[in-house]
Structure 1
Amino acid sequence: MRVGAVIAAAGRPGGFRAYDKLKNTDRNVMLRRMIYTFRHAGVEDVAVVTGYRAKETEKSLAKLGAVFLRCADYENVQMLDLAVKGFQYLKNCGKFFFCPADVPLFTENTLKLMLLQDTQVVIPVCDGRKGHPVLINAGLTDGIAGYQGNRGLKGAIDASGAEICFLSVDDEGVLVRARSEDNFEKLAATEKKTAIHPKVKLQIMRNEAFFGPGMMVLLKQIDMLGNVREACEKAGMSYSKGWSLIRTAEQELGCPVVERSPGGKSGGIAQVSDTGHILMEKYERLEREVAEFTEKKFREIF
C-alpha cells in the first residue's frame, strides 16, 4: 500500500510561525528534517501545505521531491482544512501521515511502528500524552472532509467511527513543539539530533542524464493535474525548467514521455504517456531498492 504524508506549514493553524520566536532554529531545516524522516520510513509521497512565507519555503525545499500545496487563505483556515487539502491531493495513497510543521522531532522508528498497526487510525502516545504525526486510512478522507463540527481533525476522526490505535512509543519527539517553553532548541541539538543516513541521487542516462528525482516529481504532478505549468509550480521549478527536463527525456528515449495538446495561457492539456508511466514505476522500484541496499551497506561500513 502506497503511503503519503501531509505537513501543515501554512501558518497559524500549522504552528509554522512558532519558529519566529526561536533564535537558533531555521524553520526550513526542520521541514527538511521531517521530509527526510518520512522518506526513511518508506513514505513515497510528501505534500507540504504552505502559506506563511510560502515562496521562501518552497524555494528552500524545491529539490527534496515534496509537493507544495499553496493555501492563500491560510490566516482564516483551520488545521482540518490543511489536512483535507493534503489528503485530497494525495489520492493515490492508501494511508496518510498528518503532522503540523511545529512537531518535527519524531523518529523514523516511530513511523515504522505506526505503519505496522492494522487499524484505520494510529495515534502515537508518549508518557500518557497523545502526539503527532497521526496515521489515517485513505478510506476516511470523504468523511473527514465532510465533517461539520467545531472540534477540528480530532472531531472529524471521532465522528467517523473509525477504529483508533493509541500506540505507546518511547519517543518524546511526538510531543515536543517548536517553542521555547518545551526546551525545543536544546532537544533538537542534543537528545533529538537527526540520525546519520547515506543519500544517493539516482539518475538514468544515455548520452546525458535524463531521468532523476526532479523528473519523477514533475511527472507525478502532471499525472494528477493534467497541466505542465501547474505541475511545475507544485514541483517547485520554473516552467522552462520543466519543459527542459521533458524534452531531454524524450530526446534520449526517442519517444514521448508527456502527451500534450496546446492551448492558451495555462499551457493546454497534458498527460503522462504509457512509456512515462512504465518509466516512473521502474524508477521508483529501482530507487527504493538502491536506498535499501545503500542503507544496509552504510550500516555495515560505518
Structure 2
Amino acid sequence: MGTGALLIVERLEFPGGPARGRGSRPSPVHRVVRTLIRAGMDLIVLVTPPDCLEALQKHVARMSVLCIAPDSGAAVLTLLGTGLVYLQDKCSRILVSTLDYPFFSTETVAALLEPDAPLLRPVCGGREGYPIRLFSSMIPQILKKNKDESEEHLGLNEILNGSGLSCTGLEVEDEGAVLPSQRAFAPPQTAIFPELRLRLVRKKPFFGPGASELLSLIEEAQSVRLACQRMGMSYSKGWKILCDMEEEWGAPLILRRQGGRNGGSSSLTSEGKALLEAYRKFEKVAQSLVQEAFRNCFPFLCPPHPRSGEVRAETSPH
C-alpha cells in the first residue's frame, strides 16, 4: 500500500475560489496540498464538515485531491475518524494535520516517511509540530480509545494522547512545521516550485486530475450521481465526461447495475480500475522526474538536501 495524507479542514478558512491577482498569497489549503503533491503522496484526502464540503471541492478543483465529509458532525474526532477509516485499507503510512499548520516543508514530509517509529511528529527548537505520521495498523486503537470521550472539545493532540500510544519526535530544521497560521504575522516566503498537471490525449484531451477524481469518487460511492454531487457538477455533465473518456480510451470504464431495492449502483470496470491506477502511478513518477529536473535546472532556488532527521526519545502529544 502507498502513502496517504489526511488534512482536517474544520472551518471555512479559504475563500470561495483560488487566490487570484498579482501579489495574492496562496490559501492555507492550497499551500498544504501543493506541499503534499510535491512530496509525492499517493493519495491526499481532505475531510471537512458536511456544510463545508461543496465550497472546499470548488476551492481545490483539479488539484488531484479527494474531499470527503461525515454524514453529520463537525468535531475533530468525527472528521479524523471519517478520514482514517477511508484511508485505512488504502495506505500503510498516513500523514495527518489540521489546517492550523500550513507551513511545513516537503523536506519535513520526506523525513517523516523514513523512520519506522509507529507514531512520529516533527520537532523544531523543542516545539512539537505537524504533520503527524502514523501507521494504518494503529487506526483501530486510536478510534477505539476515543469513542467514549466527549468529542466536542477534543483536538488532534488530545485524541492521539487519549489513544495511549507514545509519539516519537523527529528533529527537523523547519520552523514552518511548528508555526501556526494564526500566529504567523510574517509567514515563510512561498518558495518557487514547478506545478505539473497531466492529461491523456487521443483525438482530444480526455483524462486528467478532474477525471481521476470522478472515477475515484464513483468507486468510493458506488454511484455516478453521488460522485457528481461531491464534485459539485451536474449529473448530465458527469455522464458526458464519462462518455468522452470511454470513447477516447476505447473500452467501457463504468459498470452500471440497474434496479434493485436501492435503485441500482455504478462501479469501475477492470479497464476503469487499471486506467485510474496507471494514471496515479504516472502522476507520481512524472512529479518525481519534474522535481529532479527542477533541482538540476534551478539549483539556486532549491534548498540543500536535508540532513537525516534525528529521532529523539519518545514523547506524548500535548
Q: TM-score range by the shorter chain?
A: 0.7 to 0.9
**Paired amino acid for 2:78:** D
- Which residue does the alignment assign to 2:140? 142
TM-score, normalisation: structure 2: 0.80
Is structure 2 residue 225 aligned with structure 1 residue 229? yes
**One-letter amino acid matched to 1:33:** R
Q: Deviations over 1:51-92 (max 9, x none)?
A: 365433321212212212235755xx4322211111112231
SS in 2 for 1:200: coil
The one-letter code of the counterpart of 2:103 is L
State the AA in 1 paired with 2:224. Answer: V
For residues 111-142 of structure 1, give each alpha carbon's deviation from its aligned partner in whole angstroms, at most 9, with x where no partner exists.
10000111211111111121111111111112
Q: Once structures 1 and 2 are overlaid, which stretch shifts more, 251-260 or 25-34? A: 25-34
1:172 aligned residue (162, 171, 175): 175
| Equivalent in the alignment of 1:259 | 255
Conserved 8 A contact 2:13-2:28: no
Alignment of 1:279-294 (within 5 A): 279-294=275-290
Give TM-score scaled by structure 1 length.
0.84
The one-letter amino acid paired with 1:42 is G
Which one of the candidate residues 272, 293, 300 is aligned to 1:276?
A: 272
Paired residue secondary structure (1:186): coil
3-state SS in 1 of match to 2:56: helix
Structure 1 partner of 2:117 = 119
Q: 1:50 corresponds to which residue?
A: 48
Residue type of the alignment partner of 1:273: T
Structure with the greater relative contact order (CA < 8 A, sep ≥ 6): 1 or 2?
2
1:26 and 1:136 mapped to 2: Cα distance?
34
User: CA shift at 1:7, angstroms?
Assistant: 1.3
Contact 1:48 / 1:68 at 8 angstroms: preserved in 2? yes
**Match of 2:9?**
9
By how many angstroms is 1:267 displaced?
7.0
Amino acid of the residue matched to residue 275 of structure 1? E
SS of the residue corresponding to residue 80 of structure 2 reads helix
Number of aligned residue pairs: give it. 284
Contact 1:28–1:57 (CA<8 Å) still a contact in 2? Answer: no
Q: Choose the corresponding residue for 1:81, options 65, 73, 78.
A: 78
Q: Which residue of 2 aligns with 1:186?
A: 186
Q: Give a deviation string over 1:173-196, Cα, whole Å, max 9, x none.
A: 1222222xx2x1412xxxx12322
Alignment gaps of 5+ in structure 2 = 16-22, 299-318
Query: Per the alignment, in what secondary structure is the counterpart of residue 62 of structure 1?
Result: coil
3-state SS of the aligned residue for 1:112? helix
Q: Contact 1:149–1:156 at 8 Å: present in 2 too?
A: no
Per-residue CA distance 1:225-247 (angstroms, 9 max, x = gap): 21112222334443333222211
Q: After alignment, is 219-228 or 229-238 more displaced?
A: 229-238
Aligned Cα root-mean-square deviation (Å): 2.8
Asked if structure 2 preserves the Cα contact closer than 8 Å seen for 1:18 and 1:178, the reply is: no
d(CA) in 2 for partners of 1:167, 1:29 = 27
- CA separation in 1, counterparts of 2:14 and 2:246? 45
Identity %: 30
Q: Which amino acid aligns with 2:294?
A: F
Letter of the structure 1 residue corresponding to residue 124 of structure 2: C
Paired with 2:100 and 2:155, the residues of 1 have a C-alpha distance of 17
